[in-house]
Amino acid sequence: MRTRETAPVGSPCWTDLWTSDVEGSGNFYGALFGWQALAPNPEFGGYLMFTHNGVPVAGAMGDMGDMPANDA
């Protein structure tokens, strides 16, 4: 995976994943991109970060229990 210091205007810079299988997603994207899935953070509802070479590159979230999804 390439690393760059700047990005063209309008290019994606972050991605979030809402998944029913947090552990499986961590394993999948770790193998696919070489990302490391950090432990889900209970303080932030189980949100987890993916890093590449120690740099945060993406996030993921599992089931939020009773919290309704945003209907936007």
Whether the full predicted model's pTM is greater than 0.75, yes or no, is no
61 within some domain:
no
Beta bridge partners, 63, equal: none
Which of 19, 30, 22 lies closest to 52, judged by CA?
30
What pLDDT, on the 0 to 100 scale, is given for residue 65?
60
How many domains are contained in the chain? Answer: 1
66 within some domain:
no
pLDDT in tens, 26-55: 999 999 999 999 988 888 888 889 999 888
68 within some domain:
no
- Residue 23: which domain range? 16-49
What is the three-class DSSP state of 24? helix
21 within some domain:
yes
First and final CA of the chain: distance in angstroms? 33
